[in-house]
Structure formats: structure tokens, C-alpha cells
Amino acid sequence: MQPRDLSAHTPYVPGRGSEEVARELGMDPDDLTKLSSNENPFGPSPKAVDAVREAAADVDVYPTTSHTDLTETLAAKWDLAPAQIWVSPGADGSIDYLSRAMLDPGDSVLVPTPGFSYYGMSARYHHGSVATYELSKADDFAQTPEAVLDAYDGERIVYLTTPHNPTGAEFSTEGVVELAESVDEDALVVVDEAYGEYADARSAIDLLGERDDVAVLRTFSKAYGLAGLRIGWAAVPDEWADAYARVNTPFAANEVACRAALAALDDEAHVERTVETARWARGYASDHLDARTWESAGNFVLADVGDASAVAEASQREGVIVRDCTSFGLPSCVRISCGTEDQTRRAVETLNGVLSEVAKA
Ligand SMILES: *Cc1c(COP(=O)(O)O)cnc(C)c1O
């Protein structure tokens, strides 16, 4: 017996982990600087760590109160009704919930290329198909309604990422409105703000008061430093908010994650420090890296290094792990996550060394 035809399903390619690379190179994971997955270099808030410890004793019960508390806290923070907050295992979980809620078999979604691969993966799992719009390198990956509308052909969901992974480019809120008004009436525009905390722009969540065709994705994985707990959420329009009860996987957002997320929301100083350091690191990398970079509003910088696989491998041998963007469709680019000051300086120095070796070869 075989599973269904999965030939169109491409596996997700994660950034490489320290443990994995350390084993391969016979190094101590502590000697590695891992800047490949846009994680928080300061780790989780100490308050979240305490919450995880405390929650450990309660994991015999299904998460109910914690889920309600988190939903209500987010609703209050963002001035939405609790039913408009769809808590999920990572923002990836919300992508699945939106696929389930929106897609009939054969419906399609429109996604950016280069871009985050899970949008298309989720659509395919849910018997949908995937079309792409191009963000062109020649155009500095500019994110405009025109770039999306040129490719738009009646898709049910249109995904925007702002700040965009891996380029760092933003999509303006005015642009989101223009796009939502230009696509079909039953098309949902999903604005993925996984890196929203790092940007100055206002959130597209502000649009939900007046629009029923925009949803926004948010996560605790990046600025809040909880990637390992898998907790995120979607903000959805009031009109169809009650679909959540019909599409969510029961108890998928776990007790420990919900408690940690609540504690993390309570530590604004940790997020501020994280965001400020990322801003510094973006500037440092673009000023000092001997490679072309693009302006980024996220916690990472995209750099044009020639042969990305060769550069990422050489840099890894020197103990600095960056993300080879070949799997994003950018074989000449690496993405460098913002680290602490020390990590960022080390990464830039190491990459510059690698680049000068490559130039000599
Ligand atoms: C990291 C990321 C997410 C979500 O990650 P989760 O860990 O599932 O919350 C979503 N979109 C983009 C573009 C990302 O980079």
C-alpha cells in the first residue's frame, strides 16, 4: 500500500540546527553561531521560562483555561473580539486552519516566490493548488499590489509576507487595501506578519475593523523567542470568526505553550531589547558585509554572495551557520539572522573571510 500521490508535495527545508551541524563537524554546539532560522538570540523571556517550569506540573490536563486566557489577552491587546483570535501551534498551524476554512478541493492560492514554502504546502495538503507571483531581484524584491495582480487569476487566498522572508521587504498597509479591493470578492488576503514586531509599519490587524477579506498571521516564534513551543495565531474578520471551532485541531496549542506565551506578552522589555538589537544588527550587516544586501524590516538580512551553497558551507566550517537561500529560489543569496552584537560581528567577519577566499579561488 502507498500514501496518496505526494509527488507535488515538496518537503520543508529548515535552517540547519547547531546540534546537527556540530555532530557533523565534530564540534561543540556552543562554539557555533547559529543565524539560520531567525530565532531570538536572547532566547525566551525569563518570565516565559518560569511559566514553562510552573506549567510542567499541570500537563496532565487538556489546555482549556490557558487557551481562553491567551485568546482574551491577545484580543484585548489588539482590540479585537476573542472569536477573531485563532490560536494555533505556530503561525503554521493558522495557515492550516485558513486552508481548511477557505479551500474547496481544486481551489488555488497565490503565493510569493521567493517566499515562505509552507503556504503552498498547506494548500496542497488540503487538496488545493498553488500559483505564484514573482518578487523580482532586478526590482529589489519590491512588494507592490501590481506585482501580485499581474499574476492574480481568481485564487481564493492571496498570501503576502511583510516583512518578507527572506528579502526583508515590506508591503504597505495601503497596498494591502488596494489589493483586497482589486481581487475577487470571495478572495481572502492573508498578511503574514511573523516578523511584524521588528517593523515600524502599523499592523494590517488595524484593517479588520472595516474589512471582512483580510486575515493576519502572528507568531511567538520570532521576537518572543518561543519557536520551540510552537505557538502562534491568526487575526480574522468578525464575520466568519466562528469557523475556528469547526476547523481547529482540538487542543493543538498546548498548555505549556499557552502559559509561556501569556508570560512572554507580559515582558515587553524583552521584546524591545530584541527588536532594538535586531535593528542594530541589520545596520551593522549592511554596512560591513562585503556583499550586496537589501534593506530589511525583519530580524535578518539577505546578502548576495555568488554561490550561496559554497559560502554557507564554508562559513559553517568556520562555525557560523547562515541560511542558504537556494531552496527559496535564490541560489546566489544567503540569509543571515540578526544575532547578539558579538554573534553578528563574528558572522560578518567570518563571511567576509569566506568571500575573500572565494574571490581568490
Ligand atoms: C517563521 C515564519 C512563520 C511562522 O512560524 P511558526 O513558527 O509556525 O509560528 C510564518 N511565516 C513566515 C514568513 C516565517 O518566517
Per-residue model confidence as pLDDT tens digits over 120-131: 999 999 999 999
State which residues form the domain around 331: 18-43+268-360
Asked whether residue 51 is assigned to any structural domain, the reply reads yes
Asked whether residue 122 is assigned to any structural domain, the reply reads yes
Residues 197 and 329 in one domain: no
Residues 260 and 149 in one domain: yes
Residues 254 and 348 in one domain: no
Residues 100 and 216 in one domain: yes
Residues 215 and 71 in one domain: yes
Q: What is the mean pLDDT of the chain?
A: 96
pLDDT-based confidence at 26, cuts 50/70/90? confident
Q: Counting atoms of ligand 1 from 1, which one is nearest the CA of 164?
A: 13
Asked whether residue 242 is assigned to any structural domain, the reply reads yes
Asked whether residue 2 is assigned to any structural domain, the reply reads no
134 three-state secondary structure: strand
Of 235, 265, 295, the last residue of a domain is 265
Asked whether residue 187 is assigned to any structural domain, the reply reads yes
Q: Is the pLDDT of residue 360 over 80?
A: no
Of 219, 245, 265, the last residue of a domain is 265
> Whose alpha carbon is nearest atom 12 of ligand 1?
194
> Whose alpha carbon is nearest atom 14 of ligand 1?
194
Strands of the chain (E only): list them: 33-35, 85-88, 108-113, 129-134, 157-161, 188-192, 214-219, 232-235, 292-293, 300-304, 320-324, 333-337
pTM of the model: 0.96
Distance between CA 295 and CA 324 in Å, rounded? 18
Q: Ligand 1: does its nearest atom lie under 6 Å from the Cβ of 194?
A: yes
Residues 230 and 309 in one domain: no
> Whose alpha carbon is nearest atom 6 of ligand 1?
90
Q: Is the pLDDT of residue 9 over 90?
A: no
Task: Report the amino acid identity of residue 256.
Answer: V
Asked whether residue 9 is assigned to any structural domain, the reply reads no
Ligand 1 pocket test target in 167, 198, 222 with most atoms within 8 Å of CB: 222
Ligand 1 pocket test target in 165, 170, 198 with most atoms within 8 Å of CB: 165
Q: Ligand 1: does its nearest atom lie under 6 Å from the Cβ of 219?
A: yes
Residues 139 and 87 in one domain: yes
pLDDT-based confidence at 34, cuts 50/70/90? very high
Number of domains observed in the structure of the chain: 2
Q: Is the pLDDT of residue 301 over 90?
A: yes
Residues 283 and 209 in one domain: no
Distance between CA 19 and CA 25 in Å, rounded? 10
